[in-house]
Structure 1
C-alpha cells in the first residue's frame, strides 16, 4: 500500500504548482494591493474635487468675459457669479458646496455655512477658521491651485468635526480664490465595502478552482487505481501462464520473423536433452524436425501475407 500511495502522489504532483500559484496571487493581493486600495480611492476623490472646482472656475471666467465685452459691468458679473456659487450644491443630500474669498486684504465673499462672516476681513474670524483660511491663502499665493487637508464641521452639524480635503483654484483677474471640499472619513468605509466584495468574489473563485483541482485529483486517482489493478491482473496472468508453461509436458516456443527462437519452455530438456538456453543458441533448424520447419515456415508466410493485405490486423 505504501508504494501505491507514492505512485498516487507522484501522479498528482502536477496540481501543486496551480494550487500554489493561486495562493501566491491571493497572498500578494492582501499584502501589497489592499494597503494601496484606500489610497487609490482617496486620489480618485481628490481628482473629482479638482474637476468640480475647475467647472465652477470656468463659470467665473464666463462672467468675467461678459464684463470684458461690455455685456455686464464688473459689479454685475461678480454678483451673478456669487449668487450662482450660493446656489451650487452636490454630494449626498446636496450639502456639499463651494466658497469664494479674496487674496489681497482677505475677505470671505461666499460661504453657505458661514454667511455671518461674509464680507468681513480675515482678522475678525474665530481663531480656528482664521488659521484654515490662512492655509488657503498660502497655497493660493504660492501656486495657482492645490489641496489642503483639515478638520471641519460636518455640513450644518457644528458639533461634529470630521477630516476634510479641499481643492482651491485662483482666479487672477478678480483676485478671487474658489474652492470646495469633501469629507474623507467615509473612505475607510468605502474601502472596507470594496475589500469585502473582493474577498467574497475571490473566495468563490478560490473555492471553484479548489473544487476543480480536487476533481482532477480524484479522476487521476481513479485512473491510477485502474492502471494498478490492470497491472496487478497482468502480473497475475503472467505468473499463471509462466507456471503452466514451466510444468507443461509439451514444448512451447516463440520465434521472430527470422525464425530465431525468442523463448522455449523447460520441457524441451525432457524431449531433446537440451536446456532452453542451448536450444535458443542452436535455433529451430537444429532442434525442429524438417516437417516442423516446413509447417512453421508456411504458417509464418501465411500470417505475413494476411498482414500485408490487412495491416494492423495481426493476421487475424
Structure 2
C-alpha cells in the first residue's frame, strides 16, 4: 500500500495541475469581473445617470419655451400686446414646477442680463444681474447670456440656493436656452448634491451586488475546488499505486529463471528475458501484443485461451497446457501456471511458463 510519503510528489503535481487548470482561471475571472465593475460598469452608469439628468433639464426647458411660444403667437395674432404677452408668459412659467418634491422651477432673464422672473427670489425681478456673483466668484447670469449668445443653448455650473431654502447653497448645473423673438434666456437646473447622492446609491447597490456575486463564486469555487482536489489526489494515489504494483510484478518477472508473462485485459504488458528468448522475440516486442498472437488455438487449453483474450479471471485453470507461437512461425509446447492479479483496478494474470 502506498504511503503518504511515496505519493507526495504525485499529489503535489496533481495539486499544481489543479491550481493552474481550475483555480487560477476561476480566480482571474472573479478579479476581472470586479475590476470591470469598478473601472467600467460603475463609471459608465454614473455618466449615464448624469447625462440622463442633463437631458431632462433640456427637455423641460424646451417645454417651458413652448409655453412662452403660445403667448408669442397671441402677440403675433394681435390678441395681446407684447407687454401683456410677456407678462402672461412669465406668470405661467413662474407657476411651473417639476421634480420629486415639486420644488424645481424655471427662471427667465433677458440678454442684458436683467431678471425677468424668478419664483423663489422675486426681489431680483427687474434687477440688472451683470455684477451678480455666486460664492465662488462666478458671474453666472453673464455666463448664461454668453452661452446662449454663442450656441443658442448650453449648460452652466455655479453655486445657488437649494430650491426654496436660502440657507443652503449648493453646486447647480443648469440648462439655458434662448427664446430669440423676445431675447429671453429660459433655464432650469439640477442640484449636483442630489445627482451625486443618487449616483452614490446606485454605486453602493452595484458594489453590494458585485461583492455578493464574487462571494458566491468564491464559495462555489472553494467547494468545487475541494471536491476536484480530492479527486485529483485520489487519481494521483491510484496512478502511483498502479506504478508501484507494476514495478513489483516487473521485479518478480525479471528475477524469475523460468518464462514469465503478464497479461492484462487480453494484452501482454510485460515478459521476462527467458520467455522472450524462447519465443525468439526482442524483450520489448512482448510489451503490448494481443494474446492471440502468442498462443496457437491448437494445443492450447480452449477455456484458458478464451479467458486470456477476454481479460476475465473467474474460472481460469490454475495450470493448463499451451502451445506458443514463436516469432519465426514455429511452435513451442509448454505447461503454464496462472496466477490472477489486479493492477490499477484492471484484472489479469501472471503466467509462469515451463
Q: In structure 1, what is the Cα distance between the partners aligned to 2:172 and 2:188?
A: 10
1:122 to 128, 135, 144: 128
Separation (CA, whole Å) in 2 of partners of 1:67 and 1:263: 111
Matches within 5 A, 1:249-268: 252-253=260-261
Cα distance in 2 for partners of 1:86, 1:241 equals: 101
Match of 2:159 in 1: 151
Instruction: Output the CA distance in 2 between the equivalents of 1:19 and 1:299.
Output: 59
Question: In the alignment, which residue of structure 2 is the partner of 1:177?
Answer: 185
Offset from partner CA, 1:134-172 (integer Å, 9 cap, x none): 222222322211111111112232232111111111111
Question: What is the aligned partner in structure 1 of residue 238 from structure 2?
Answer: 230
Match in the other structure for 1:210: 218
Map 1:1-316 onto structure 2 (within 5 A).
Answer: 1-15=8-22, 16-31=24-39, 34=42, 38-103=46-111, 106-118=113-125, 120-122=126-128, 127-128=132-133, 131-235=139-243, 237-238=245-246, 241=249, 252-253=260-261, 275-281=274-280, 294-296=298-300, 299=302, 303=306
Q: Structure 2 vs 1, CA of residues 231 and 116 (structure 1 numbering), >3 Å: closer, same or farther?
A: closer
Cα distance in 2 for residues equivalent to 1:151 and 1:254: 93
Query: Displacement of 1:88 after TM fit?
Result: 0.7
Distance between the aligned counterparts of 1:50 and 1:282, measured in 2? Answer: 94
Q: Deviations over 1:34-87 (max 9, x none)?
A: 556544433332222111101111111122223334455544433332221111
Q: Structure 1 11/106 Cα, relative in aligned 2: closer, same or farther at 3 Å?
A: closer
TM-score relative to the length of structure 2: 0.67
Q: CA offset at residue 115 of structure 1?
A: 1.1
Q: Is the CA contact 1:97–1:112 (under 8 Å) kept in the aligned structure 2?
A: yes
Shift of 1:30: 2.9
Q: Which consecutive unaligned segments of at least 5 residues does structure 1 have?
A: 256-260, 267-274, 284-291
In structure 2, what is the Cα distance between the partners aligned to 1:91 and 1:205? 34
Return the alpha-carbon distance in structure 2 between the equivalents of residues 262 and 230 of structure 1. Answer: 18
Bigger shift: 244-253 or 91-100? Answer: 244-253
Q: Hey, which of these two has a bigger chunk of helix by percent? A: 1
- How does the TM-score come out when normalised to structure 1? 0.74
Matched residues, number: 288
Pick closer, same or farther for the CA change 1:174–1:217 going to 2, 3 Å.
same
Q: Secondary structure at the match of 1:122?
A: coil
Deviation at 1:203, TM superposition (A): 0.9
Partner of 1:287: none
1:294 partner SS: coil
Gap regions ≥5 residues in structure 2: 1-7, 283-295, 315-354
